Structure 1
Amino acid sequence: MLVQSPSEVSAEPVSATQQPRRRHSVRAVGLLVSVGVLLLVCVASIVVGAKPVPVGDVWHGVFHNSGTGTDVVIAELRMPRTVMGLIVGVALGLSGAVMQALTRNPLAEPGLMGVNAGAAAAVVTAISFFGVTSLTGYVWFAFAGAAVVSVLVYLLGGSRSANPVRLALAGTAATFALYGYVNAVQLLDSAALDRLRFWTVGSLATADMDTVRRVAPFVGAGVVLALLIARPLNAMEMGDDTARALGAHLNRTRVLAMIAVTLLCGAATAACGPITFVGLAVPYLVRALTGPDMRWILPYAAVLSPVLLLGADVIGRVVARPSELQVGIVTAVVGGPVFIHLVRRKRMAQL
């Protein structure tokens, strides 16, 4: 008869308790590495462009703007563009992660679910029919459009009985219908076409610090709200019955999640136009790294989404120098293969 020593008996529970700690440590280190990558991409966004800027001149241009050509390029053009890309990237990444958890659908993304299209249609309406030209006006119309389309897609998808396929189809139908309306308005209104021809494909080129200051409070509120509902979203991903058994308030969580998505998408779309696939690709990839825990998915998505957006913006400046490709075009090219991969997966084919 074999007898285990006390050390052998106690080894198993110790390893069982150490495993979650090790997993948390790996996730924390990964998040720190992601922050480091984001800082490098931010520096590249300031340095790279039609006019190359030495890294040593960046500090001088940011903190000691003397009015020289290089300082003006850094302080008045590239810094606002980088900060705006950072804010919009956070907004799109978090909104995509929240929508995927809320609908239990890996295809859920503001661009694919019609939310961005709703905001864009509302902004086009504001410009063409109400003569709105300021960002402050854009934001409120964008919020209204995003909120209305979010509710509409949810209802068309079957509300509480919605499944991923029905929601994706409802979002796609709403997106095509709304962008048809946007294109029709632009063709009929040449002035609106001139103002919107870059905005509708998604661009950071016109960003300035005034726009950043106006958009940041709305995005900040959406970020806080999204992070606060991480735990109930975890419960909802296991199904409504399980979530109720765990004490989650389903209707309240749904309402708060839609408010967060509306704040994030409305502000981002008003500032830069509808940018797709960032909210789809990043949360999906992050989920593969962190697992299903929204307490880790949301911070990772908030850090890595700006990496994708700013990286796409830098690529757009380089490939067509001295001109540039709008960031919305580059993200669509990058995100398209991810979307195709998701659709072709065996699990998605069985939904």
Structure 2
Amino acid sequence: MTTRHTRLGAALTLAIGLGLLVLLAVLSLSVGITYIAPGDVLGALFQPDPLDINHILVNTTRLSRMTVAIAVGACLAVAGGLMQAVTRNPLASPGLFGINAGAVFAIVLLAPLFGSPSLTQFMMLAFAGAAVAGTLVYCIGMLGSRSPFRIVLAGAAVTALFASFTQALLVISQDGLDSILFWMAGSVAGREMQAVVALYPYLLIGFAASFLLARHINILVTGEEIARGLGQNTFVIRSLLSIIIILLAGGAVSLAGNISFIGLIVPHIVRRLLPGDFRWLLPGYAIFGALLLLLADIVARIVLIPQEVPIGVVTALLGAPFFIHMARKGMRNG
């Protein structure tokens, strides 16, 4: 149990993070090729004028973009934190589950069957591919063995397999290349609010289920033998967490494509700021994941105005040095 002082400190950290998220959300609605003052942004949200071009821009384009960035950042961070708990590997992230590779492969393979697929159809294909890849990794890595390292190897193998299939399909038919560049680079732009809302129930279910399992995760991370000694069915808990990871990461990939490193960086940062209790860590992952991706999206929009840098590039620039640092630290400790 955390002390009262620790709980107050953790609550204050979450409150500060939430406050920063609100400020960044307003800034996200303000910046772009056309700058809109925060006062006009609040007016567009609470007293929209259907004839005001700035209000139209906020409510039809930037609001959905901001919503996607928050949802995707939260999903990737929580999925990454859960995956590091399941595998007990500090370098684990949603991409390790083959989810990104599966989503892209599904789009390349099946999108031509729809002729000119809509954005919603692209998202559904990506979600289905991510779910299939994640399930395949789970079946190979977890069934018949309870070793957390087996699922890491299974994820790497499935990722390489789907990436190879995708490259082969693109070599055969390069017509599909332009349509998947968006998913390969990652972006939160161009989303229709209806398409976003359609996926929200799945994401909310994933968040709710992870919070309900927080106490069990606290036991699981102490080690396999201790968890079993305390009466926990570790296989069932790992299975449920794997399903939640697929749900959250698959939904994130279907919304924004291949955005890397959020699921790797944020859990490490949050574990330095909050107690090691998943009842605190999970909301921390969600808040700070949303915060980091929203910040990356703002940077992506303003660094090369009037052009935009793919948000996946920004997160990679942030995450690659961190990954190298973690790898070197692991080798030194080894």
Please say whether Structure 1 and Structure 2 have the same fold, judged by a TM-score greater than 0.5: yes
Given candidates 109, 120, 141, the residue that maps to 1:125 is 109
Equivalent residue, structure 2, for 1:106:
90
**Cα deviation per residue 1:223-268 (whole Å; 9 max; x = unaligned)?**
1111111111111111122112222221221221111111111211
Does the C-alpha gap of structure 1 residues 299 and 172 become closer, same or farther in structure 2, counting only changes over 3 Å? Answer: same
Equivalent residue, structure 2, for 1:162:
147
Given candidates 93, 96, 104, the residue that maps to 2:80 is 96
TM-score, normalised to structure 2, is: 0.90
Whose Rg is larger? 1
The alignment yields a C-alpha RMSD, in angstroms, of 2.4
| 1:72-221 to 2 correspondences below 5 Å | 72-129=56-113, 131=115, 133-134=117-118, 137-154=121-138, 160=145, 162=147, 164=149, 167-221=151-205
> Would you say the 8 A contact 1:97–1:301 is kept in 2?
yes
Are positions 1:32 and 2:27 aligned together? Answer: no
Given candidates 220, 230, 248, the residue that maps to 1:264 is 248
Deviates more, 1:309-318 or 1:64-73: 64-73
**Cα deviation per residue 1:15-46 (whole Å; 9 max; x = unaligned)?**
xx9x7111111001111001011111111111
Equivalent residue, structure 2, for 1:292:
276
Are positions 1:66 and 2:29 aligned together? Answer: no
1:136 deviation in Å?
5.2
For residues 108 and 23 of structure 2, the distance between their equivalents in structure 1, rounded to whole angstroms, comes to: 36
Equivalent residue, structure 2, for 1:10:
none
How many correspondences in the alignment? 332
Equivalent residue, structure 2, for 1:318:
302
Equivalent residue, structure 2, for 1:330:
314
SS at match of 1:37: helix
Equivalent residue, structure 2, for 1:46:
29
1:95 deviation in Å?
0.7
SS at match of 1:111: helix
Does the C-alpha gap of structure 1 residues 246 and 67 become closer, same or farther in structure 2, counting only changes over 3 Å? Answer: farther
> Would you say the 8 A contact 2:203–2:248 is kept in 1?
yes
Does the C-alpha gap of structure 1 residues 315 and 78 become closer, same or farther in structure 2, counting only changes over 3 Å? Answer: same
Does the C-alpha gap of structure 1 residues 335 and 150 become closer, same or farther in structure 2, counting only changes over 3 Å? Answer: same
Given candidates 311, 314, 328, the residue that maps to 1:344 is 328
Return the letter of the residue paired with 2:167: N
1:167 deviation in Å?
4.8
Return the letter of the residue paired with 1:28: A
SS at match of 1:345: helix
> Would you say the 8 A contact 1:93–1:301 is kept in 2?
yes
TM-score, normalised to structure 1, is: 0.86
1:138 deviation in Å?
4.4
Gaps of 5+ in 2: none
For residues 72 and 324 of structure 2, the distance between their equivalents in structure 1, rounded to whole angstroms, comes to: 24
> Would you say the 8 A contact 1:139–1:266 is kept in 2?
no
SS at match of 2:189: coil
SS at match of 1:223: helix
For residues 163 and 205 of structure 2, the distance between their equivalents in structure 1, rounded to whole angstroms, comes to: 28
**Cα deviation per residue 1:32-69 (whole Å; 9 max; x = unaligned)?**
00101111111111111111111111022223132332
1:173 deviation in Å?
3.9
**Cα deviation per residue 1:48-96 (whole Å; 9 max; x = unaligned)?**
1111111111022223132332122211111110011111111111111
Equivalent residue, structure 1, for 2:39:
56
Does the C-alpha gap of structure 1 residues 205 and 55 become closer, same or farther in structure 2, counting only changes over 3 Å? Answer: same
Gaps of 5+ in 1: 1-16
**Cα deviation per residue 1:167-194 (whole Å; 9 max; x = unaligned)?**
5454334333323332333344344223
**Cα deviation per residue 1:281-321 (whole Å; 9 max; x = unaligned)?**
00111112224321111110000001111110110111111
Does the C-alpha gap of structure 1 residues 338 and 70 become closer, same or farther in structure 2, counting only changes over 3 Å? Answer: same
Deviates more, 1:259-268 or 1:137-146: 137-146
Return the letter of the residue paired with 1:146: A
